[in-house]
């Protein structure tokens, strides 16, 4: 752990270790000086000399303690700031696809509590740990000068104490990961429980609770109970071995005193020393739990920081025309293959509709084009260049994405549109808003363009949120648009507005649409039918209807549901 911290925190941590070691040596000397002081006092000699030395060392120890505490907090604070920056900088380089599942929740936990755990090492725990080793070692060396036999008696128990510490650590480590996972899961479930109140209440799940949360809390309880059960014998062994060190020194001292080879004042001094000598060891056992937490958090911070960033090309290429091309693209989430040998081209200025059953890989495919992940096999080209050879900035400049599930940020409608191009003027923002028919939404909002939309855009409907997101894409003015059309049934007014907004977006742009509405599909220049991650059919609407394959069946079924005729076109 010390090696990881030195790598992570650098020279300041090494300096802090040195300062703490000086403090621990001084503390050991303070304890050791009790022997000559007591010997002088109890033996009836003048103690002034030793008392002066003792007072000087106590004063030096107090100064060292002050310096090491202040420095420890300073290092802890700068470690906290440094870690926040490093985590932030690194997270910004990770593939967007990394931020899925429960990773966001766990990242939040790591950036909050995890960083505080790591900070507690230089701020507080390091002192306890260093003094647990250096202070008793200093005392032992001093004891050698007073009476080497008593020193050896105390030293004889050191391997036992060390073994007891190692055993406890091994016992606890076995369950530590399970306790952390259970705590993280319980945290995720609590957040989910709070966020999904509307859904839970709609299904009447308020009184008996939320099964997933109950189970997560029960698992956490079990993991903690198991940890306590396994750790207790170890903690007992540590306390016993430390007491044994004291007892062995006591017995050896008494035996030597009875034999007449140690005088009583010296024995009293050494025994006081033995008591003090065990204090730092017991203190180290007390902070064991905090230390393990810090070690676990440190491991997770290191794991995050070593997650490979999205590789950026050394000499990025320039895209030529706004085209998208997929060649034999294959992709898996972990071991689960999702796309196989997908090939098609979206020519500049044309619109391609992507259709297929749920789970066939449509969303994944659009995300590979925006390089949320890199493909497992094959190549994705934008503007004729492999996306891996374009800088992220250039690729993002080429592509706008309009998601189905649009997230708006806590801010005004205008702020949310401006996200598409932060440098845009107010007029440009409003022009994009008007083109996407956001102006109609704004008219009925109390604060107009400045109305705050609430976290996630909670004060707007799904269709309205998508219109804001289309305005964002219009303002960004990227030549390629990847669009996931809303599946939710919209009221006729919203639907008409959305169609207008999309038409504005489609003008003079290259469009790849995950299409759900028949009007959109029928208007496409090319239709790609995905099935189980493969291109099942590809062609124009008329060609595919004539082929009378999967697309024709899909079209017939949807048309029936919507009251359309088989050959109907928008």
Ligand X SMILES: Nc1ncnc2c1ncn2[C@@H]1O[C@H](COP(=O)(O)OP(=O)(O)OP(=O)(O)O)[C@@H](O)[C@H]1O
When the beta carbons of 360 and 526 are compared against ligand X, the nearer one is: 360
| Residue 104 binds to ligand X (criterion: CB under 6 A) | no
Signed CA dihedral, 272, 277, 282, 287: sign only: positive
Least separation in angstroms between CB 100 and ligand X: 4
The DSSP result for 352-415, as a single string, is EEEE--TTSSHHHHHHHHTTSS--SEEEEEETTEEGGGS-HHHHHHHEEEE-SS--B-SSBHHH
* Beta-bridge partners for 352: 512, 526
User: Looking up tokens 């007449």, which residue turns up?
Assistant: 260
- Contacting residue, 28, 361, 383, 479, with ligand X by CB under 6 A: 361
User: Looking up tokens 């939309």, which residue turns up?
Assistant: 453
Burial of 398 (0-12, 13-18, 19+ CB in 10 A): buried
Compute and round to an integer the Cα radius of gyration of the chain. Answer: 35
Least separation in angstroms between CB 485 and ligand X: 10
When the beta carbons of 389 and 484 are compared against ligand X, the nearer one is: 484
When the beta carbons of 254 and 553 are compared against ligand X, the nearer one is: 553
Helix (H) or strand (E) holding 422: none
Residue 262: count of CB within 10 angstroms of its CB: 20
When the beta carbons of 119 and 354 are compared against ligand X, the nearer one is: 354
Of the chain, the end-to-end C-alpha distance in Å amounts to: 66
When the beta carbons of 7 and 100 are compared against ligand X, the nearer one is: 100
- Contacting residue, 323, 363, 469, 494, with ligand X by CB under 6 A: 363
Q: Which stretch binds ligand X (CB under 6 A): 198-206, 314-322, 358-366, 462-470?
A: 358-366
- Contacting residue, 145, 148, 333, 407, with ligand X by CB under 6 A: 333
- Contacting residue, 150, 183, 326, 338, with ligand X by CB under 6 A: 338
Least separation in angstroms between CB 374 and ligand X: 14
What x/- string results for residues 420 through 459 when contact with ligand X is judged by CB under 6 A? ----------------------------------------
| Residue 100 binds to ligand X (criterion: CB under 6 A) | yes
Report d(CA 356, CA 338) in Å as an integer. Answer: 13
Least separation in angstroms between CB 199 and ligand X: 18
Least separation in angstroms between CB 326 and ligand X: 14
| Residue 359 binds to ligand X (criterion: CB under 6 A) | yes
* Nearest partner of 293 among 446, 105, 117, judged by Cα: 117
Q: Which stretch binds ligand X (CB under 6 A): 77-85, 161-169, 175-183, 351-359?
A: 351-359
When the beta carbons of 328 and 426 are compared against ligand X, the nearer one is: 328
Cβ-proximal residues to 394 (8 Å cutoff; 6+ apart), any chain: 316, 318, 319
When the beta carbons of 82 and 95 are compared against ligand X, the nearer one is: 95
Least separation in angstroms between CB 11 and ligand X: 41
User: Looking up tokens 């806590």, which residue turns up?
Assistant: 410
Using DSSP, state whether 291 is helix, strand or coil. Answer: helix
Q: Give the burial string for 530-563 (b: 16+ CB within 10 Å, else e).
A: beebebebbbebeebbeeeebbbebbeeebeeee
When the beta carbons of 168 and 360 are compared against ligand X, the nearer one is: 360
When the beta carbons of 159 and 357 are compared against ligand X, the nearer one is: 357
Least separation in angstroms between CB 358 and ligand X: 3
Least separation in angstroms between CB 334 and ligand X: 7
User: Looking up tokens 């293959």, which residue turns up?
Assistant: 337
Q: What angle do CA 287, 293, 297 make, to 5 degrees?
A: 145
| Residue 460 binds to ligand X (criterion: CB under 6 A) | no
According to DSSP, residue 117 is labeled H
Least separation in angstroms between CB 30 and ligand X: 59
- Contacting residue, 157, 360, 375, 510, with ligand X by CB under 6 A: 360
When the beta carbons of 364 and 466 are compared against ligand X, the nearer one is: 364
- Of residues 364-383, those binding ligand X (CB under 6 A): 364
Signed CA dihedral, 364, 366, 367, 368: sign only: positive
| Residue 358 binds to ligand X (criterion: CB under 6 A) | yes
When the beta carbons of 101 and 159 are compared against ligand X, the nearer one is: 101
Q: Which stretch binds ligand X (CB under 6 A): 360-368, 413-421, 537-545, 549-557?
A: 360-368
- Residue 385 tokens read as 């260049």
User: Looking up tokens 């997270």, which residue turns up?
Assistant: 91
Which residues are near ligand X by CB under 6 A? 100, 333, 338, 356, 358-364
């Amino acid at each position: 752990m010390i090696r990881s911290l030195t790598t992570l925190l650098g020279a300041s941590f090494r300096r802090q270790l040195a300062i703490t070691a000086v403090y621990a040596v001084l503390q050991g000397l303070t304890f050791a000086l009790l022997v000559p002081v007591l010997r002088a006092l109890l033996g009836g000699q003048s103690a002034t000399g030793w008392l002066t030395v003792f007072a000087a060392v106590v004063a030096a120890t107090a100064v060292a303690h002050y310096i090491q505490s202040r420095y420890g907090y300073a290092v802890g604070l700068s470690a906290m700031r440094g870690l926040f920056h490093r985590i932030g900088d690194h997270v910004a380089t990770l593939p967007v696809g990394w931020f899925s599942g429960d990773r966001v929740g766990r990242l939040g936990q790591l950036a909050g509590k995890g960083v505080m755990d790591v900070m507690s090492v230089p701020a507080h725990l390091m002192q306890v740990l260093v003094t647990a080793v250096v202070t008793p070692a200093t005392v032992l060396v001093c004891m050698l000068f007073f009476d080497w036999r008593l020193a050896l008696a105390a030293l004889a128990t050191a391997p036992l104490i060390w073994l007891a510490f190692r055993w406890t650590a091994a016992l606890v480590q076995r369950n530590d990961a399970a306790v952390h996972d259970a705590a993280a899961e319980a945290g995720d479930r609590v957040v989910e429980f709070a966020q999904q109140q509307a859904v839970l209440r709609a299904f009447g799940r308020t009184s008996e609770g939320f099964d997933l949360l109950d189970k997560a809390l029960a698992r956490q309880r079990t993991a903690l109970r198991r940890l306590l059960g396994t750790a207790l014998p170890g903690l007992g062994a540590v306390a016993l071995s430390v007491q044994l060190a004291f007892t062995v020194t006591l017995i050896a001292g008494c035996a030597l005193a009875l034999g007449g080879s140690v005088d009583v004042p010296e024995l009293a001094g050494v025994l006081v020393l033995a008591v003090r000598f065990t204090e730092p060891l017991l203190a180290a056992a007390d902070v064991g739990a905090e230390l393990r937490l810090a070690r676990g958090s440190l491991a997770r911070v290191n794991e995050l920081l070593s997650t490979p960033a999205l590789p950026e090309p050394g000499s990025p290429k320039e895209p030529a025309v706004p085209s998208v091309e997929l060649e034999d693209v294959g992709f898996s989430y972990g071991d689960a293959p999702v796309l196989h040998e997908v090939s098609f081209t979206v020519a500049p200025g044309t619109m391609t509709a992507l259709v297929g059953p749920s789970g066939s890989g449509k969303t994944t495919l659009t995300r590979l084009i925006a390089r949320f992940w890199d493909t497992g096999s094959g190549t994705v080209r934008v503007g004729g260049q492999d996306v891996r050879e374009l800088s992220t900035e250039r690729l993002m400049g080429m592509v706008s994405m309009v998601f189905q599930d649009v997230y708006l940020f806590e801010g005004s409608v205008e702020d949310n549109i401006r996200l598409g191009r932060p440098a845009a003027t107010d007029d440009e923002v409003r022009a994009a808003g008007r083109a996407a028919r956001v102006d109609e939404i704004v008219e009925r909002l109390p604060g107009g363009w400045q109305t705050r939309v609430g976290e996630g855009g909670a004060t707007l409907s799904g269709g309205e949120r998508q219109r804001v997101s289309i305005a964002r894409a219009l303002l960004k003015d990227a030549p390629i648009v990847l669009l996931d059309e809303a599946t939710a049934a919209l009221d006729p007014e919203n639907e008409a507005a959305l169609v207008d907004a999309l038409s504005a977006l489609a003008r003079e742009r290259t469009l790849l649409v995950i299409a759900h509405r028949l009007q959109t599909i029928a208007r496409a220049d090319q239709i790609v039918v995905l099935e189980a991650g493969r291109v099942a059919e590809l062609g124009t609407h008329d060609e595919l209807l004539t082929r009378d394959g999967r697309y024709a069946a899909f079209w017939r079924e949807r048309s029936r549901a919507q009251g359309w005729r088989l050959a109907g076109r928008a």
